[in-house]
Chains A and B, each alone.
Chain A
Amino acid sequence: MIINNTYLKVSKTALLFIGCFAIVYFSASCERDDICPEDAATTPQVIIKFIDFVTALDINQPVDLEVRSADPAITDVISDVTSLDSILIPLKTDASITQLIFTTNATSEDESLIRRDTIDFLYTPQEEYVNSACGFRVNYLGLEVEFTRDNSNIDFDEDKNWIRNIIVQQRDITDETNAHVLFLH
């Protein structure tokens, strides 16, 4: 009788241990939160909207647009910017200036159709903690967008350039909800 009870108790104890072990093990494995979710508010990109210069109201999609960094070390083109009324543009997170070249009719066979503008984005990058999975993000504060040509109106060359005016709508880039910059062309 005593022996029976003892075995009963041993098995009960063993069960309890296995139970404890299982709880700890599964809770530890479910705990992983180290993947940054796609919808997390990480570093925002600049939203540029293309507006008709004449009406200053209507959306005017640039034809065959190509955006690339003016930095000769980067040869790639910023992808997915063709034929959209607004585009998302990444800025450098470790500098206070990003120089980008915007080209229309970029893939045209006829060289005379290609129009090009080099634009400076000036800002103060501000680092901000997100969470343990995403790490940090950067907000771009006090954004100024300038043509590299000295005077945008006088120096506009119809045979070379296509952007006539730039309006910064939101100077602190902290989210991706509204257009930050308008390009008039």
Chain B
Amino acid sequence: MSEKNHDRHAAARRTRARTPRDYSKRTSARLLVSLVAPYKALLVAILLSSICDMTGMLYIPTQLSAMVNVAVNSRDMSALMGHGVAMLIAALVGSGGYITSVFLTSRLCAKVGRDLRMRVYEASLALSGSDFNAFGTGSMITRTLSDANVIQQTLLMSILMIFPVPLMCAISIWLAFSTDAVMGWVLLAVTLAIVAISVAAVAKSAPIFTRLQGFIDNMNTRLRESITGVRVIRAFGKEAHERGRLDETFNDFASNAIRVNLVFAVTDSMTFFLMNVVEATIMWVGADRVGAHAMQIGSISALVEYAMLIMMFMMMAQFAILQVPRALACLTRAAQVLDVEPEIADADAPAALAAADGAGDEVARFDHVSLRFSDADEDTLHDISFALRRGQTTAIIGNTGSGKSTIAKMLLRFNDVTGGSLTFGGVDVRRLSQEELRSRIAYVPQKAWLFSGTIAENLRHGDADATDERLWHALDVAQGGFVRELAHGLGTRVAQGGTNFSGGQRQRLAIARALVRRADLYVFDDSFSALDYKTDAALRHALAGELSDAATLIIAQRVSTIHDADQIVVLRDGEVVGLGTHDELMEGCPTYRAIADSQTRGGQTNA
């Protein structure tokens, strides 16, 4: 069984374990609190500016009604001016408060978003390969970028649109009570009615809204499928079938979107109607109160205005609340990454390795090593024993899924043994720090991944202090002479992933990057497959002289790549079925002979 296979099991198990609802609610709430916690001062400042905003906003109608009252009663021009100035101040304080709160909130949310992205990224670095693959690269990118975006934007919206609602209600009701107790009760009743409508509207629309998100995703997936798979679809004559699938998702989306629109239209309409009734009621009751000398005529319009503002804020809050479930889902996804207990962690007091030259002949040893992924029923590697010695080349060959690459990953501690022991320089790798261990190994991955930047920058990943001569030397050994022919030599730009170089060139650059590092062990994980036979041979010849002081491990598919190796490990289904030189294995190992025969058939019959 291949590792990817195990990763997928792990993914399935993990998601199953993490779906219970209350669990995800709790984790996402905890994560949110921990994200916002460092910015308490900002939050307090936002609250204060929001109070300024609300007070200013409500003070304008208050002062306006006071102006009316002055005008109809005392006709005092200077009092009128006084209210005018008060209104001006209220306008400035209110708008100033709002602009300040927007300013602070944008900052706060940007910082929270940034912190979340960094925390997910840092957590990703601590994940083991199978932990990471359980999430998948695509999903990890989503979690780091767009999930954080959704959280950031929803937080922004919540702070600007939900938080002010209680403030708005409290200040309005207080102002109403201070105008007249009866009107205070009227406004309180109105507020409660609006809250009731809002709660009902949110309860009704939230599930439809969440479903709508699912339909949007579906639409994207199916469209992508029918476009990227167009050749297969046409080859199998399934155009009508695909059309049907597309139409189905389009219909689902449309009918759901229409339902959401209808719910919004009805809520909108109900709120509007309520507004009318409230306005008429306030006029009626207000006129009575004016008639009873309890308040003045101008206050009626102020009270109407308070009620309208409460309603408006409540509607904005409804909209913002609908976005919250989506953000909570994003928070849960982020929390899943953050909560993974790294499979591989450094010991509290890591042991130190002896200096490279003082070390013995044996660089690393697999001693009855087994590896079983946490969710598998059987070992991926079983009872593996062999040693990597200084000056020797060890090769590993076997079919896909036989566990070849896993052996390299164990040396780098991307995976830990579950049975037996793996020692490096005589010390169990689990007692070493990952950093120390990896600094002794130069690794050429199966996929020759290069980073965007220059060739020199890429090569210096092997050793940040390497001189240009060292880089050129490494390139020469790695058969990377083509770099000399490039106009900018070592300064040539490399595109992300190295896509501006051919597969073979990328592999040679990746090999050179490893050679720049002075290491005790060089690991070539299937690194010669993109090279033609001539280059492969020349490279192996050059390497032999270069790496005489270190141990070399070559994982390969081609027998021709490895037949000079000092020892060859033949793997089948995670077990060693042969160990020896090429000639010994041709003699005594049927698996090896079968592999060799399958590859040399053409050569032997025609050479």
Q: State yes or no: do A and B come from one complex.
A: no
| Chain B contacts to A: CB under 8 angstroms | none
| Chain A contacts to B: CB under 8 angstroms | none
